[in-house]
Structure 1
Amino acid sequence: MHLLSLVNVLLIALMLHCMTSAKKFRWCTLSDAEQRKCSYLARTLQNILSSSDPFSRVSCVRAHNTQDCMIKIRGNKADAVSLDAGDVYTAVSLYDLEVVAKEEHTEGNCVFAVAVARRGALNIRKLRGTRSCHSAAKWTSGWNLPLGFLLSKNLMYWDGEQPLAKVVSRYFNASCIPGIGVSSPNLCELCQGTKSYVREKNHFCEVSGNEPFSNSDGAFRCLKSGAGDVAFIDHLTISNVTDTEMDQFELLCPDGSTASLKSYRSCNLGQGPGKSIITRGHMKRITKRFLTVIQNFFGRSGKHRSRFSLFTSEYFGGQNLLFHDSTQGLHVLTDDADMTDILGLDYVGLLKELGHEGISLDHSVIRWCCISSAEMRKCEDWALSVRSDPLVCVQATSLSGCIEMIKSNEADAVTLDATHAYVAGRCGLQPAAVEYWGGHYDCLTDPNELLQGLFEKGFPSLYALAVTKKRMKAVTLSDLRGRRSCHGNMYSPAGWLLLSRYTVRGAVNQTWDCDLNSAYENYFWKGCMPGGEGGLCKVCVGWEEVGRINGRCAANHDERYYGNMGALRCLVGETGGRIYGDVAFLEHHSLQENIAYLGSSGWAHGLDPSDFVLLCPDGEKVALTEWKQCNLGAIPPSVVMTRPVITAKIYEFLMKSQEYLRSSEDSTFQLFKSVHKYGEGDLLFKDSTSCLLPTGHYGLQDILGDSFMQLADSVFECTHAGILDFCTSDICAGKKK
């Protein structure tokens, strides 16, 4: 009996071994030409490998389109395929597939999205009503990045309440967008694939090699044939254009200009991830081994490249078969790589904004980023006071944290001072509105008309001030080394950036450290610069609860010396005159009101503006009222920053909100006032704000000004900022123009 059982076990093991060894690795193909190349790869492997090697038996599974490939892989009828990043996101999020490798090109895994047209025919800002050719629906270069660009520049409007395809169908006169479906017939009108009622024979408007205008090569073919006026493709397609094509076609640049086809690095609509290879979860290890084997044999420097070239397709009657022909190699991923490692934060955020997961309630919600409990209280009052899109208040620990949350699609908008706005711009965020610090009566005029006038004559400015107590006779601006300093926060325009020109980067300071934070720590004896470290935190006081000090030196209002009000508190000193600074760097707005508030709120009884003086660059000391003549420089307006695609949505929410609050006479909530109700100044917006204005087509450089941008560029060139490390770690961030 035992012997019989042993025989049975051996027979079953032998059967399992035979079944396992007979199983073929199956690659999914999308055209007849791709099927031919795949079959040749399979035969070549069979000739090279021993019959016992599992990869000596590879089969090629013909699919109808990319979605069919995903279904076949999920259903265990195929094992792997290389897909555009847009389809990769769909494969992972909707089909529960996994990514195992990326195609790498000479410029990495990222591709530039470009718009191509005949020379002298079009302007990127005037595409409405034209005929368009796209590589495919939901693909990086043919759909996601171009539509993201058009939406971010307010050239196309989408309220999120209807499918994006409907908006696109009204924007273009006719199109070929393979894979778009049948809901908008004009989006397939230009396509050339064979039509049939039999699904397997219908290739019209499909993401398949049998649709002549599918993929980037097909979209360019659509343009060259005269069917379309503009083609949205990737830069890899134009890297090998002929001289004739160079003369006939040009790139459409974001600023409305044009450039030669070879100028895609400086003239493009954005950059996103390239193609990746997907498989089922339990096939990850085997697929990685397969990719490693074929690359070692048939890659650019493969030992059997003379027998078969993995990244060449011409011999099989097509282009970019199995992999893109410009692929330099396959980068096999580690097991712990997640979606943001593979596609990048920016790209994943863009796909969510474009509704790749379907339209949900989240699309109508505005998530405003707050940095303290005081801001949360004001934000929640704001949410209860307006009748517009739902407002949700989310909290970070600093303005840099808000930038990170917005980039990560965990929040939608925040108001940033000029320096933080500069940082946010480098992180890929975009201005949606700008604070106007002029007269309230100006806000009653048309906002676009007011904005145009401001760009001609300049924005009303706030000024950076150096303030000290009148009784401190020895303190002067030129002799602050070794003093105790009070700064609103790290990166603030007044207390960090503009201040540097008169202290650590001044002409009299010959030994300044290139890193601004390190330089300040060596320059001042000690101070309070919320968000800083070391000696720049020694004067900070945090807040006290049940006998414990919390939030000391935090870059938010939980540090009582944070912001303009906090820097003033720091100069006055904690209740009883303890723990104070010799000089405070803050903004001129609301200064006298803040002094009066501290004088009446119990912080310092009887405080009066006459107790303070300004330190001037020429060494003089003057009254606080002389700020126009005695300051450290003009501060550009604060900016509401958000992700590019939702700028119009954020601006519309703000306009509805401030219009409703302006007309609601019984409302006790004031959007631009904070101190008396919440005990802190400049919550969510500066208290000096009269209204918010649209940014229109103006960029961050237009708003902040050349001189401020140049100063910020020079400082951040060698000043370490953790938030910039976070932003530039995104997979395509280091390669953007």
Structure 2
Amino acid sequence: IKKASDDECLKAIKRKEADLTVVGGNQLFAAYERYNLAPFVAESSSTDLGDASYYGVALTKKDMCKTVDGTDQSGPITGLDESLRGKKACHTGYRKTSGWYLPVGKLADKGVMDFDQWAGEAYEEGVRVDAETVEKFWDDNVCAPGTTAGGPKLGGEIYGSPGGGGLCKLCKESCAADSPYAGYDGAVYCIDDEDDNDATGGDIAFVKHSTLLDYKGPALKTAKDQYVGICDTGCMTLFDADGSPLPKEGGGFKYEDCNTGKSASNAMVTRREFIGTAYFQELLKAMGLSNSESVDVDATSDIIKEDEVGVWSDDTAQLIKLSDPGTDQGFKDFFTAYAGFKEIYNSDNRLTVCITEGTTSACEDAMNTAYSGMAPFTCIKKASDDECLKAIKRKEADLTVVGGNQLFVAFEHYKLAAIVAESSSTDLG
């Protein structure tokens, strides 16, 4: 079946209208966090990592760093810390994985970016909290082009314009998804593209570990080995003159010690209860993963013609079977950037509704449709009204609907307050 978006596909699986889909980044996080789905097979295109993941890196020029490889450079940046504030930032796009979720999530998780500080102003501006926070952190000196269905403005519109603030002041020509500074190549071009008046170009590009090697944008003025990674502390030379990752002593690559986070690649997800069934085992067998941890994918296979078939990415070289699918720990072992994604997810000021009947997906659909324009709703399900009241008391939920005895219990035992009541009477009003 075909749906209009990844989110609609996830809903279809939750409703048992479909069994499988392939998602990555934010939607992979949503599959787990919102729809209780589980990834079980992931794609890999990496020739250096050899697993279903990639690293995000923060690139800058050597002279922007205080130290590089332990040697003094006298620049202003001391690491992924407060020294970044007010610099000129080039994100691949709004809520893109390497360009937004990994760096913004990490800086928020470290307390460098403060979502709470800008929540009120974000509400007044009609934008997502993470968008307002990022704009303020970079002091408007940012290019984060493109939109999602609900951001950066709440209606899904672009926030700002080139030269005019928001997330677009630093962008060249436009702030759309096809801006010259959009995407991996665009973000690198952004930090390379400074003119004599310093009117364009940035200081930092948030990309992934393979971006310099794969770069196909406009010719660079700066040699690739003059771009360094910003680490938690200090900066480090991560790439050679052609952009290939530099090895580290003892094996592996230097970017493994200097990055914004490790992201899971695209993965196939399903309902948790499907995992372990006979049909699930037959699926693994058909994929060549019944008795193997990975399987090579033929470069000419129709299954990786993404635009035509819509399953795996065009550059998929292997499929990798994930460990402990269907468990919380299994997901977090695979999706190692979970904490950073959670920071941004929580910044959306979601209201959590506790229900005892029906499905959480139906609840979310109904609430988000009926009260569109408000903070998004998430639903959780508990076994009883009392369990819902306990969930609110523990701050696991924000709202529930009760009546009669449970309404008394909510007030008397849990110190909760009634705010809105329903009425079906035509004579009492």
Using the size of structure 1 for normalisation, the TM-score is 0.31
Larger radius of gyration: 1
Using the size of structure 2 for normalisation, the TM-score is 0.50
Q: Name the one with the larger helix percent.
A: 1
